[in-house]
Chain A
């Protein structure tokens, strides 16, 4: 047991079918509860979670699984290139939950959580800036970290880190 928060996990052990929470498959990852709605159900699931008591949106971020497509996902969840990951906190019951929604590369759009959690505005802008994921109904979806006229989305796996060769005498880059 490492020195981190322990999230109460539902008592029924994961059987052949994944457990459903508000209609979306659930899984656990190192003891933390994760919900995997699909894009259409995403907003409804997050709204249901908020009504359940998860009133603090800790984090909204993106992830690009271009070079790791074979990640473990519960049955019934179709892996796509991008993921939007939302971490919510229930202050009354003192627990966290994570929502992971798959976003395809060809149609990288997902609903915005701004109307539910105004605090997700800057986080979604960052996900847009870094990955190119568009959030529909977002009030101001512009770049937030890179200059306005930057081309490309830096955190994508096919965007190089941009290292310049360092002028040492003989050494090539070791990493």
Chain B
């Protein structure tokens, strides 16, 4: 997003940025990307006991076009990796990724031919939540961390500047036509 990056903030634009960031972090809508056991814990986080709704996130959008956040919950297999990238590409900016569980963060206990060793090989990740599976409290902590990132991060900060993600260069065919 060009333009606003170098603007010196005065009273009006400073507050606008805060308002936009407040709106963004208080209604992050996750895309359903539950893969394995972590998906069950994600569902439990959405249920009444832990209640993700108090963060404004109980609306799990099925369509990636309407979602802000992709919680990669579970192990990503070789067959699922292109699908993951396609869904990520279909999401609109601004978008964030939480890698939930050790299988998504680093391959977990499955260091073998079938599992992608860390979903950050495919998509840039903002927050990693460890655990096997991470309990709902851990997931909520990850979400709150993400909210903090949204609150403190600048509106126009690009991922390249922060160095997040593995910095993989993807071939052109992986992008959505």
Question: Which A residues contact B (CB, under 8 angstroms)?
Answer: 146-147, 150, 154, 159-164, 166
How would you classify the secondary structure of chain B's contact residues: helix, strand, loop or mixed? loop
Q: How far is the CB of B32 from chain A (nearest CB, A)?
A: 23
**Are A166 and B79 in contact, CB atoms less than 8 angstroms apart?**
no
Q: How far is the CB of B85 from chain A (nearest CB, A)?
A: 14
**Are A166 and B111 in contact, CB atoms less than 8 angstroms apart?**
yes
* CB-based nearest A residue for B80: A147
Point out which of A146, A154, A162 has the most chain B C-beta atoms below 10 A from its C-beta.
Answer: A162
**Are B78 and A146 in contact, CB atoms less than 8 angstroms apart?**
yes
**Are B78 and A163 in contact, CB atoms less than 8 angstroms apart?**
no
**Are B111 and A163 in contact, CB atoms less than 8 angstroms apart?**
yes
How would you classify the secondary structure of chain A's contact residues: helix, strand, loop or mixed? loop
Type the 1/0 row for B79-114, where 1 means its CB is closer than 8 Å to any CB of A: 100000000000000000000000000010001111
12 A-B pairs with CB atoms under 8 Å apart are A146-B78, A147-B79, A150-B78, A154-B113, A159-B113, A160-B113, A161-B112, A162-B113, A163-B112, A164-B107, A164-B111, A164-B117
Instruction: Kindly list chain B residues whose C-beta atoms are within 8 Å of the C-beta of A166.
Output: 111
Give complex CA distance A32, B68 in Å: 55
Give complex CA distance A55, B127 in Å: 52
**Are B79 and A162 in contact, CB atoms less than 8 angstroms apart?**
no
**Are B78 and A147 in contact, CB atoms less than 8 angstroms apart?**
yes
Instruction: Kindly list chain A residues whose C-beta atoms are within 8 Å of the C-beta of B112.
Output: 161-163
Give complex CA distance A159, B117 in Å: 19
